[in-house]
């Protein structure tokens, strides 16, 4: 189907008003209380060929995205050691949907639609986009049935968003709230859903309706409530208790250019899920660490679905300024490597359309995509991907 990209000269983020966010959030609610202990790291598989190779020497060199901490120190609550609860039994239908045998291609669904109503997102259009994506991904005809096949009513579900301080574009609140509506319609109680990122203050600044323990969908940051017990490369790390206290994870990143990893999307989004991301931003530390982080059991075993936000496609520049192209689309997959490889292609096309050279982003993203494939997280080989392109009316 035809893809459409619109160039935006505006540097201001689009979104609904806080009043509209609160209206969208009213009646939606959920929480989590279980812990998963670490398992052994996965074995390494041979690397596959990268999905994209640069055809020319780069003509631009993106500046490094600055590390920005919250201007106000978030309120930190003491870590409460959660009780150990086993993951729920796999739903039989889900085993059929998520094919794991080597010959099954990884599906990536790219759904494009006009979802902007001026400077706000149209909730009805977002739901149509999600319905079309989940049915195409699962092969089921009914969207509610598809969500119910992936998530059980007794599960606690975490939704990881991107609200990092210093940006002007974050995972769009209306899209996330539409996902919580889909889960509730599939039988998951609101109180068993939690939207999270690093800090509550960052989420609030990004427009999320904070709800730590009230009725409805829970929405708050990790706020340094983390549990140790894992190692990434040669470094001891802690994982967010919000993640550890849930059974299933929906990863909802926003597609961004990144000065060190080339792009930030599904796999890089988990730099907000553990306590030492700054230790894994240089050279081989990012190429190996980014993939190996996603291969650790707390992330790999919980990840149930990836919904990539490309409603805006974000560029960064010197001094921390941000601008974006209007992408009007989302990506949905079970495979984080195939998802991010497709996101890299999308970013490259949008950049070329806007007159920018994407070669540096391609060069920097290729090593960790290869490593992710080598660790068995997914595929970056187009021959092993099934890309479904959809354009809604």
The reported pLDDT for the residue numbered 316 is 64
Residues paired with 354 in a beta bridge? none
Using 50, 70 and 90 to split pLDDT, how confident is the model at 61? very low
Using 50, 70 and 90 to split pLDDT, how confident is the model at 21? very low
Could you write out the DSSP letters of every residue in 205-257? Answer: HTT---BSSSSSBEE---TT-EEEEEEETTEEEEEEHHHHT-SEEEE--EEEE
**Higher-scoring residue by pLDDT: 20, 165:** 165
Cα–Cα nearest to 340, from 262, 273, 240 = 262
- The answer to whether 176 touches 195, Cβ cutoff 8 Å, is yes
- 378 has pLDDT over 80: yes
The reported pLDDT for the residue numbered 104 is 64
For the beta carbon of residue 48, count every other beta carbon within 10 angstroms: 18
**Higher-scoring residue by pLDDT: 6, 339:** 339
pTM: 0.76
Mean pLDDT over 271-292 rounds to 93
Residues paired with 84 in a beta bridge? 35
CA 98-87-246 angle, to 5 degrees, is 95
* CA dist., res. 330 & res. 334, Å (int): 14
* CA dist., res. 233 & res. 82, Å (int): 26
The reported pLDDT for the residue numbered 354 is 74
Mean pLDDT of all residues belonging to the chain: 79
User: For 117-121, 147-151, 173-177, 226-230, which range has the lowest pLDDT when averaged over its residues?
Assistant: 117-121
**Residue by residue, what is the 3-state secondary structure of 121-139?**
ECHHHHHHHHHHHHHHHHC
How many residues does this entry show for the chain?
393
Using 50, 70 and 90 to split pLDDT, how confident is the model at 99? low
The reported pLDDT for the residue numbered 9 is 37
CA 376 to chain centre: 19
Q: Which residues contact 216 (CB under 8 A, 6 or more apart)?
A: 25, 26, 27, 28, 29, 30, 190, 191
- The answer to whether 344 touches 338, Cβ cutoff 8 Å, is no
- 75 has pLDDT over 70: no
| Homologous superfamily assigned to 18-31+91-391 | LarA, N-terminal domain (3.40.50.11440)
Kindly report, residue by residue over 29-43, the tens digit of the pLDDT.
334 333 334 343 334
């Amino acid at each position: 189907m035809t893809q459409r990209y619109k160039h935006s000269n505006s540097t201001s983020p689009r979104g609904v008003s806080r009043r509209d966010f609160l209206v969208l959030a009213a009646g939606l609610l959920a929480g989590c209380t279980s812990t998963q202990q670490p398992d052994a790291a996965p074995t390494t598989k041979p690397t596959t060929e990268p999905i994209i190779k640069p055809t020319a020497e780069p003509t631009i060199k993106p500046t490094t995205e600055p590390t920005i901490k919250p201007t106000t120190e978030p309120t930190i609550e003491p870590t409460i050691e959660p009780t150990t609860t086993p993951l729920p039994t796999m739903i039989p239908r889900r085993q059929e949907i998520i094919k794991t045998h080597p010959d099954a291609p990884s599906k990536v669904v790219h759904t494009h639609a006009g979802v902007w109503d001026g400077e706000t997102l149209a909730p009805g259009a977002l739901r149509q986009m999600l319905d079309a994506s989940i049915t195409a991904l699962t092969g089921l005809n009914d969207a509610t049935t598809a969500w119910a096949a992936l998530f059980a009513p007794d599960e606690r579900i975490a939704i990881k968003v991107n609200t990092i301080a210093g940006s002007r574009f974050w995972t769009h609140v209306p899209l996330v709230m539409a996902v919580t509506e889909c889960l509730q319609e599939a039988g998951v109680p609101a109180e068993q859903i939690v939207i999270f990122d690093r800090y509550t203050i960052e989420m609030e600044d990004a427009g999320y309706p904070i709800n730590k323990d009230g009725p409805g969908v829970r929405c708050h940051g990790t706020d340094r409530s983390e549990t140790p017990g894992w190692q990434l490369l040669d470094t001891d790390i802690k994982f967010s208790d919000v993640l550890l206290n849930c059974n299933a994870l929906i990863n909802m990143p926003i597609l961004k250019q990144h000065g060190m990893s080339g792009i930030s999307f599904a796999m890089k989004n988990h730099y907000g899920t553990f306590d030492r991301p700054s230790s894994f931003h240089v050279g081989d530390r990012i190429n190996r660490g980014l993939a190996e982080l996603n291969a650790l059991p707390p992330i790999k075993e919980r990840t149930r679905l990836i919904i990539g936000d490309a409603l805006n496609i974000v560029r960064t520049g010197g001094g921390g300024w941000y601008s974006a192209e209007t992408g009007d689309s989302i990506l949905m997959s079970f495979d984080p490597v195939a998802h991010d490889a497709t996101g890299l292609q999308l970013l490259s096309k949008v950049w070329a359309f806007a007159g920018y050279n994407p070669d540096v982003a391609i060069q920097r993203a290729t090593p960790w995509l290869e490593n992710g494939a080598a660790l068995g997280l997914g595929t970056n080989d187009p021959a092993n991907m099934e890309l479904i392109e959809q354009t809604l009316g």
